[in-house]
A and B are shown apart, each in its own frame.
Chain A
Amino acid sequence: MKYIDEFRDGAIAKKIQARLHAEAQPARQYSFMEFCGGHTHAISRYGIGELLPHNVRMIHGPGCPVCVLPIGRIDLAIQLALERGAIVCTYGDTMRVPASGGLSLVRAKARGGDIRMVYSGADALEIARREPGREVVFFAIGFETTTPPTALTIRTAQQEGLKNFSVLCCHVLTPSAITHILESPEVRQFGTVPIDGFVGPAHVSIVIGSAPYEHFAEEYRKPVVIAGFEPLDVMQAVLMLVRQVNEGRAEVENEFTRAVNRDGNLHAQALVSQVFELRNSFEWRGLGEVPYSALKIRPAFAEFDAERRFGLGYQPVPDNKACECGAILRGVKKPTDCKIFGTVCTPENPVGSCMVSSEGACAAHYSYGRFKDIAVKVEVAA
């Protein structure tokens, strides 16, 4: 398929790999965080970790919107379905994220909640048009990629004067999360998580452009290379990061020029700022409260804001004690550091959020990477 297959070519991968081995300096350690779950998925699926020189380490970041959704937010959606009788519409991945009391949206549905999986916010709007007698709530999650479609949904609902539609807005912002990681004690003071640079988001950057990362490349002296989600994109980005480190540079570079420019999609940005404004603070799973890291619906669209419409109050809920998702999302631990990885917690029965979406670090490692952890013993008969 065009623009996909060419970026998965094994022969070119070998070429990039050879450059990486030639240029990574043996005496140095390189640690790069891939912020996006899409990159985490590609790294696991194509075994990119094994193609890298042994002194180049990839750290999985918090860039999977399903993984960073805190329990308290899912509880709100469940509450709307079970206690307020609303039809709750949401993206497929969100359905299985563990919530309070052993529930998830899927389990709440089994208990009689009218919870429906939709492919887009437009589908939720259609349900609202068809069932004018019912309250329809779109449980909207995601980074800057998913925000413009939600904004479009809200604006359309207003233009049509829909009276039974609202959005539970849980949209979060990438640059503030990266800043938060750079400010975290693990990275800043203790040095327990060394980060020498970032593989910057692919599709998020299509929307916001590469300019928003310039500030922290300058401020925190960390190189950023924006990369596409195909395996060659990721490998080339790592090579570009190694070069920046070697040359002592900290710049924003763009590997994904075929879809990303400095300014991003201005049309989408204008729509987003028409409908949304910054939240002072928002809780992320694993990162806690992060200031100015999420969006809420502007007062001009208040009637479409499920939080106001239903008078919802947010209650933070601690994660399952056994679950290491929080540490994994901050890059402090690996999936295999979790005691229940692959035994109690599996993609079929996730205990933590990182096991739900294929972009979560635990699910990615479970699906593609875990077999290499098993030591193979060959007994040779004498």
Chain B
Amino acid sequence: MCLAIPTQLIELRPGALGLVELGGIRKEISVALVPDAVVGDYVIVHVGHAIGRIDPEEARRTLAMFGTLSELAAANEAALP
């Protein structure tokens, strides 16, 4: 029920509608809840509505962060001979 997925917005249409594509499947959705979305954005679609956008820079940062040491642990380990 809450399983929404990031899809790419490939076209904006009149009436606050947009076309998204995921794995070759296209679907018309409402973009009324994210009025500043532009073509090319990845939006999270839930029950036929885009509810938010993906920030590419933050996504990259999160991937880079995965599994890294916490600052504290990193400092401790660096202090080891």
Contact = CB atoms under 8 A, between A and B. Distances in A.
Interface of A: 1-4, 6-7, 12, 15-16, 18-19, 22-23, 36-38, 41, 63-66, 91, 93, 119-123, 141-143, 145-146, 148-149, 152, 202-204, 206-207, 229, 232-233, 236, 239, 243, 247, 255-260, 265, 267-268, 271, 357-359
Given A121-B47, A152-B30, A206-B52, 15 more contacts: A1-B23, A3-B42, A19-B68, A19-B69, A23-B73, A37-B1, A38-B3, A145-B2, A149-B48, A149-B51, A203-B2, A229-B3, A257-B55, A259-B44, A267-B35
Interface of B: 1-6, 8, 22-23, 30, 32-35, 42, 44, 46-49, 51-56, 58-59, 61-63, 65-70, 72-73
Nearest to A67: B1
Contacts of A271: 33
B7 to A, nearest CB: 9
Given A148-B51, A258-B59, A268-B51, A12 B2 contact: no
A3 B43 CA distance: 11
A194 to B, nearest CB: 23
Nearest to B32: A152
Nearest to A257: B58
A236 B62 CA distance: 10
16 contacts: A12-B63, A37-B2, A91-B1, A91-B47, A120-B30, A120-B48, A141-B1, A149-B49, A149-B51, A152-B49, A202-B2, A257-B61, A258-B55, A258-B62, A265-B33, A268-B33
Contacts of A202: 2
Contacts of A247: 72
B67 A16 contact: yes
A265 B47 CA distance: 16
A60 to B, nearest CB: 14
Contacts of A121: 47-48
Contact of A207 (B52, B58, B61, B66): B52
Q: Which 3 A-B pairs have the closest CB atoms?
A: A120-B48, A15-B67, A206-B52
A97 B4 CA distance: 21
B33 to A, nearest CB: 5
Residue from B8, B32, B63, B67 whose CB has the most chain A CB atoms within 10 Å: B67
Contacts of A257: 55, 58, 61-62
B46 A149 contact: yes
B70 A204 contact: no
Given A145-B4, A359-B1, A122 B51 contact: no
A66 B1 contact: yes
Contacts of A207: 51-52
